[in-house]
Amino acid sequence: MNLKLKNTLICIGAIFIGGLFNMAIVSASNLIIPPPAGTDLTTEAGLQAAMPLMQPIHFLMPFLAHALGTLLAAYLVNKWGIMHQKQWAIGTGFWFLMGGTMMVFSLPTPLWFALLDLGLAYLPMGYLGYYLGKKY
């Protein structure tokens, strides 16, 4: 199999696994940090209506989900990849950054969270995933 094709398939698989991990953390977040009383976070409309009621603690789990999902995907790309692991791991961070950017523009998130999330949860975690998965 062509090495570029194999690396691409590895990257797609790692992004899928990182995305599943992200969703698992977000799904469990309501059990760890209860949402504001009377809010329904199961629909996009309910989530948008709940945003003004959320305190900074409510943004902890989404940030961790974004950061850890990206970290896991970049780590797996580096561990399983065949060549140019650093570029693939950083590319994975860019992929998750695109999703995070769409999330920031689709939900009325506070500016501080948008800056924190977009600045620290994606590209730095992509690089950290590469660093942690380096083959010595």
The pTM score is 0.90
CA–CA gap between residue 62 and residue 81 (Å, rounded): 28
pLDDT at 88 (0 to 100): 92
The amino acid present at 8, given as its one-letter code, is T
CA–CA gap between residue 43 and residue 83 (Å, rounded): 41
Domain boundaries, the chain: 3-132
- 40: alpha, beta or left, given left = phi > 0 and alpha = psi -120 to 50? beta
pLDDT at 136 (0 to 100): 63
The amino acid present at 67, given as its one-letter code, is A
CA–CA gap between residue 53 and residue 39 (Å, rounded): 9
Tell me if 22 sits within 8 A of 28, measured CB to CB: no
Tokens of 113: 């969270």
DSSP symbol at 57: G
pLDDT at 64 (0 to 100): 97
Tell me the pLDDT of the chain (136 aa) as tens digits: 788 899 999 999 999 999 999 999 999 998 999 988 888 888 888 888 888 899 999 999 999 999 999 999 999 999 998 888 899 999 999 999 999 999 999 888 999 999 999 999 999 999 999 999 887 6
Tell me if 44 sits within 8 A of 91, measured CB to CB: no
